[in-house]
Amino acid sequence: MIQSAREWLEKDRRYVWHAMSGYPSGASTLVIEQGDGAWITDIEGNRYLDGMSGLWCVNVGYGREELARAAYEQLVKMPFYPLTRGHLPAIELGEKLNEWLAGEYAFFYSNSGSEANEIAFKVARQFHQQNGEPERWKFVSRYRAYHGQTMGALAATGQAQRKYRYEPLAPGFLHVPPPDSYRRPDELDPEAYGRECARDIERLIQWELPETVAAVILEPIITGGGILIPPDNYLPAVKEICERYGVLLIVDEVICGFGRIGTRFGHQSYGIEPDIVTMAKGITSAYSPLSATAVSQRIYEAFAGSGEYERLRHVNTFGGHPASCAVAIRNMQIMEDEELPERSAELGERLLKDLSELGEHPQVGDVRGKGLLVGIELVSEKQSKRPASPQTVAAFVSGCQKRGLIVGKNGDTAAGYNNVVTLAPPLSLTEGDLEFIGETLKRSLEDLPESAEESE
Ligand code: PMP
């Protein structure tokens, strides 16, 4: 039976509870039917350039038949076996991930970024116990950071609006302010600011007693919280502080990994070596669900005991699904063959240069990015950097969509900073796609009133 778009949309409203939405959803949404390259098509035949790669994840773009084939061939050969035992795609993927990490990590596989972070927290606490420091149980994170939706990952998240209503969450998660280079105090140069922000973490560790702190968790660049790019010395300074106090460093690479910011993993842009790396999304370019928690050999070896409570007591059914591992391996091969991390660095730089003229608009406070991760911060007044009204931000986002470009809207609602329009297009986008993004953003911005008063 052929159904009209209207019928599908009506059923969507009735049966599908959308993320971040109430029920019954009043607003109509896009229902996407097809994808090709950087473009998606909805059930009414409208085409959009997907400037957000789904949810920051379809890194190699849509329509890659070889990824579908990798899943098919694995499903035919051996569809499933749990990782309470072993299977070949999991081993092969671990080897490949270590090539990319240029290190020697062991991988615990799961199904989502939230889960990968939960596992990192469990590993960190148990590591310290088995390493003779059982009182290390606290975690340091940053405000505006996003680390997932489960009770531990949400506790690590530093955005109150996501937590309110679901508290109390897992105890032991503490937060410090993130580096916000756009609002860097005038008296500090970027280096001094990087040091100062890292010092916030050090001070918290000292106040809490270092022997009670298990780990620091951070993204190389805060993404969902509004594309907050730290000064170059910030991550190395945090790593140094962690080492000094015996605190583990967990780097959340769920978005920044797999080429997004111009290197294979985001932390490689800053020259640090984490103790634990969590990853999801781009690992398979979202063709199949998969995540991983990479732990250094030093940590892995602390679990070598054979006692009942010396093992990592964590199990999940689907984690490291053979089809997902097969897709991940093929996906990483595509990224290597097409040099997508390098392409991300190069095209990202070009896009940023092209977008720099947006900054002349009175309501654009800042245009920033690294690789193919870009944030456009809208303000109602440049002098005070007061965030633009939600209506202004929404008008810009929907203006882009009407012209065929999907962009994101990110930041931190509770703190009043939900004013960053974001871009994270597939790394495989064409030069024509890149021009389309620049043109569409410029034309959509022209529609915005020149002053905040006019837009309110
Ligand atoms: N960490 C970061 C940095 C993320 O952006 C996300 C998801 N947007 C997560 C963790 C959680 O991943 P998932 O949605 O797969 O649970």
The structure tokens 């596989």 sit at 109
Closest CA to 233 of 261, 198, 203, 188: 198
Closest CA to 87 of 304, 330, 323, 332: 323
The structure tokens 């508290």 sit at 167
Distance from the first to the final alpha carbon of the chain? 46
Q: Please give the class, per CATH, of domain 65-337.
A: alpha beta
3-state SS class at 251: strand
Amino acid letter, 327? V
Q: How far is the CA of 125 from the centre of ligand 1 (A)?
A: 21
DSSP assignment of 26-41:
-S----EEEEEBTEEE
The DSSP secondary-structure symbol of 232 reads: T
Amino acid 456: pLDDT = 45
Q: Would you say 369 and 352 are in contact if contact means Cβ atoms under 8 Å apart? A: yes
Q: Would you say 288 and 321 are in contact if contact means Cβ atoms under 8 Å apart? A: yes
Closest CA to 254 of 334, 91, 373: 373
Closest CA to 170 of 202, 124, 143, 138: 138
Q: Would you say 262 and 256 are in contact if contact means Cβ atoms under 8 Å apart? A: no
pLDDT in tens, 189-218: 999 999 999 999 999 999 999 999 999 999
Closest CA to 153 of 55, 84, 250, 58: 250
Give the distance from CA 383 to its chain's centroid.
Answer: 30
Compute φ and ψ for 362, nearest 5 degrees.
-60, -20
Pairing mode, strands 276-279 and 248-252: parallel
* Angle, helices 88-101/322-337, rounded to nearest 10 degrees: 40
132 contact partners, CB below 8 Å, separation of at least 6: none
In 257-368, which ranges are continuous DSSP H helix?
A: 297-301, 322-337, 340-355
Q: What CATH number is given for 31-60+339-455 in this structure?
A: 3.90.1150.10
Amino acid letter, 321? H
Instruction: List, by residue range, all CATH 3.90.1150.10 domains of the chain.
Output: 31-60+339-455
Pocket test for ligand 1, best of 254, 256, 288 (most atoms within 8 A of CB): 254
ipTM of the complex: 0.99
Pocket test for ligand 1, best of 57, 119, 253, 255 (most atoms within 8 A of CB): 255
Amino acid 454: pLDDT = 58
Q: Would you say 428 and 63 are in contact if contact means Cβ atoms under 8 Å apart? A: no
Half-sphere exposure at residue 359, Cβ-oriented, CA atoms within 13 angstroms: 13
Q: Would you say 223 and 56 are in contact if contact means Cβ atoms under 8 Å apart? A: yes
Count other C-beta atoms under 10 Å from residue 389's C-beta: 16
Instruction: List, by residue range, all CATH 3.40.640.10 domains of the chain.
Output: 65-337
Q: Would you say 348 and 369 are in contact if contact means Cβ atoms under 8 Å apart? A: yes
Q: How far is the CA of 363 from the centre of ligand 1 (A)?
A: 30
Q: How far is the CA of 149 from the centre of ligand 1 (A)?
A: 8
Q: Would you say 424 and 372 are in contact if contact means Cβ atoms under 8 Å apart? A: yes
Can you name the residues that pair with 436 across neighbouring β-strands? none
Closest CA to 406 of 432, 373, 441, 378: 441
Count other C-beta atoms under 10 Å from residue 446's C-beta: 9
Amino acid 20: pLDDT = 84
Give the distance from CA 452 to its chain's centroid.
Answer: 31
Residue 280 Cα: closest atom of ligand 1: 15
pLDDT < 70 positions in the chain: 1, 23-28, 452-456
Closest CA to 224 of 411, 387, 21, 369: 411
Q: Would you say 219 and 143 are in contact if contact means Cβ atoms under 8 Å apart? A: no
- What whole-number distance in Å separates Cα of residue 408 and Cα of residue 304? 44
Q: How far is the CA of 92 from the centre of ligand 1 (A)?
A: 24
- What whole-number distance in Å separates Cα of residue 229 and Cα of residue 325? 31
Q: Would you say 293 and 107 are in contact if contact means Cβ atoms under 8 Å apart? A: yes
Q: How far is the CA of 443 from the centre of ligand 1 (A)?
A: 31
3-state SS class at 137: coil
Give the distance from CA 449 to its chain's centroid.
Answer: 32
In 102-133, which ranges are continuous DSSP H helix?
A: 113-130
Residue 117 Cα: closest atom of ligand 1: 10
Nearest CA to ligand 1 atom 10: 147
Closest CA to 108 of 250, 312, 324: 312
Q: How far is the CA of 455 from the centre of ligand 1 (A)?
A: 33
**How many helices (H) does the chain have, and how many strands (E)?**
15, 16
Burial of 98 (0-12, 13-18, 19+ CB in 10 A): middle
Q: Which two tokens stand for residue 120?
A: 């990192």
Lining residues, ligand 1, CB within 6 Å: 55, 112-114, 117, 146-148, 219, 223-224, 252, 254-255, 280
